[in-house]
Structure 1
Amino acid sequence: MKKTGTGFVAILALLCAFSAHARETQVTDASIVNAIIQESIDSYSGNCPCP
């Protein structure tokens, strides 16, 4: 029984560590939109056809 409890605590500790890391690396929607727009602008080789 003690072995099972130790394993459970170890798994719980790992889950907490990974969830804390995931919260720190979240990317906002606005930054994703800006990255997509910038990638599109960078890939366009000509001048903007807009007046």
Structure 2
Amino acid sequence: MTNIGTIVVGYSVTIFSVGFYAAWIVRRGVLIGKEIGIGSQTSPTDETD
């Protein structure tokens, strides 16, 4: 019979790693999106209206 604790720990580590990687990708996407958005859509002077 397999050890339940090992499975639970391995599953938790996998979920945490995937979640952390996904969060990093989202943060990078937001930062890059802001740079592209500021460059193409609006100029910094237009924000202070």
TM-score by length of 1: 0.53
Structure 1 residue ranges (4+ consecutive) displaced by more than 2 angstroms after TM superposition: none
- Greater CA radius of gyration, 1 or 2? 1
Identity %: 7
Q: Which has the higher contact order (CA 8 A, sep 6+)?
A: 2
What's the counterpart of residue 24 of structure 1? 35
- Tell me how large the CA RMSD over aligned residues is: 1.4
Gaps of 5+ in 2: 1-11, 44-49
> Aligned AA for 1:28?
T
> Are 2:26 and 1:15 aligned?
yes
Residue 10 of structure 1 deviates from its aligned partner by 0.3
Gaps of 5+ in 1: 30-51
**Count of aligned residue pairs for this structure pair:** 29
Q: What CA distance in whole angstroms lies between the structure 2 residues aligned with 1:12 and 1:22? A: 15
Flag the structure with higher helix content: 2
Q: What CA distance in whole angstroms lies between the structure 2 residues aligned with 1:2 and 1:25? A: 34
